[in-house]
Amino acid sequence: MTTSFPRHGGQLAQACARFGGAPEDWLDLSTGINPNGWTPPADLTVEWQRLPEPDALAALEAAAARHFGCDEAICVAVPGSEMALRLLAQLIGLRGLHRAPCYGTYRAAFSRSENLTQLATLPARSTALVVGNPNNPDGTVQSRTSLLAMLDHQERHGSWLIVDEAFADCDPTLSVADAVQEGRRLIVLRSLGKFFGLAGLRLGFVIAPPKILDALRMLLGDWPLHSAALALGRAAYANHAWIARTRNALPLVSARLDKVLLKHGLAPEGQCPLFRLLDTPSAPALFERLAAQRILTRPFSDWPHLLRIGLPADQTALGRLDKALG
């Protein structure tokens, strides 16, 4: 039955249709989205009656670039990093490479895509290697040294390295955004939705050499984002106190989740504090058992032995998961 949820987390309508109940009855742990996300200030205004201003887009990109630690001239805002990856695949026009398990769009975005058994041995031909750091769904982290070695290999063979840093806000030391520059074949993707808990805003960023960004802007057109994305994104990246508090809090919350999982004989994996992965033959049965109690987790049709569990928002939600596992 887990094949009813094949692509992404958060499909509560399908969960209700399959297992019953209304959306408000469910505890949704199927995503890697911060359940205690950033709250916009009450006095933040959005101008809905006018077209988005170019100056507002430039201000958002500048604020995001400061947060990422890169030059604002090579940072472009996009309506979600998932869409950006699909557009980049068209612009680059090379065979895609990825290591499983990974985010499904890594494979879907490229007309020709190849799965690697490991990242240590890369093919000596022109490709577009996509690496999640931290990786989704297993939470694996690649060191900066390792990523730059991959980049050197890719460049020697006329290839590209695309690093998806959708979950890197939790630990800024993981980012290679500062290594992007003209003449290098490195592209970095960032997302507002995961760490800030605003996935519905569909706001992401591409950090890339100017030639790639010029082509991307042509595809995106004059108004790539709506006014709310411009206003909310700029305010979120400027809220340095909230960012610091959240970076400190998330590891503590994920440690409490680990304790509950271990209590029930489950071994959590991953280095991203926004989710944990279970690798167990009982994953399909566990998904069904939790869903019967209105708790939605993330199964994988290609890897039926895997189950991803996102962070419960508070002790009440964690207690509900603890009881269901028991």
Mean pLDDT across the stretch 99-111?
Answer: 94
pLDDT given for residue 30 in this prediction: 95
For the cut 90, the answer to whether the pLDDT of residue 127 exceeds it is: yes
pLDDT given for residue 7 in this prediction: 60
Cβ neighbours for 283, distance < 8 A, ≥ 6 positions apart: 299, 304, 305, 306, 307
Q: Tens digits of per-residue pLDDT, 128-182?
A: 999 999 999 999 999 999 999 999 999 999 999 999 999 999 999 999 999 999 9
For the cut 70, the answer to whether the pLDDT of residue 1 exceeds it is: no
Confidence class for position 11, pLDDT limits 50, 70, 90:
confident
Mean pLDDT across the stretch 109-137?
Answer: 95
* Closest by CA position to 184, among listed 57, 71, 59, 60: 71
Distance CA 106, CA 113 (A): 8
Residues of the chain above pLDDT 90, percent: 94
Write down the architecture of domain 54-238 according to CATH.
Answer: 3-Layer(aba) Sandwich (3.40)
Residues of the chain above pLDDT 70, percent: 98
Q: What is the CA radius of gyration of the chain?
A: 20
Mean pLDDT across the stretch 95-115?
Answer: 95
Mean pLDDT across the stretch 202-221?
Answer: 97
Q: Tens digits of per-residue pLDDT, 37-50?
A: 999 999 999 999 99
Residue type at 248?
N
The residue written with tokens 């990246």 in the block is 237
Cβ neighbours for 176, distance < 8 A, ≥ 6 positions apart: 133, 144, 147, 148, 163, 165, 186, 188
**For the chain, domain boundaries:** 2-32+241-325, 54-238
Mean pLDDT of the chain: 95
**Check whether domain 2-32+241-325 has CATH 3.90.1150.10, yes or no:** yes
Mean pLDDT across the stretch 224-228?
Answer: 96
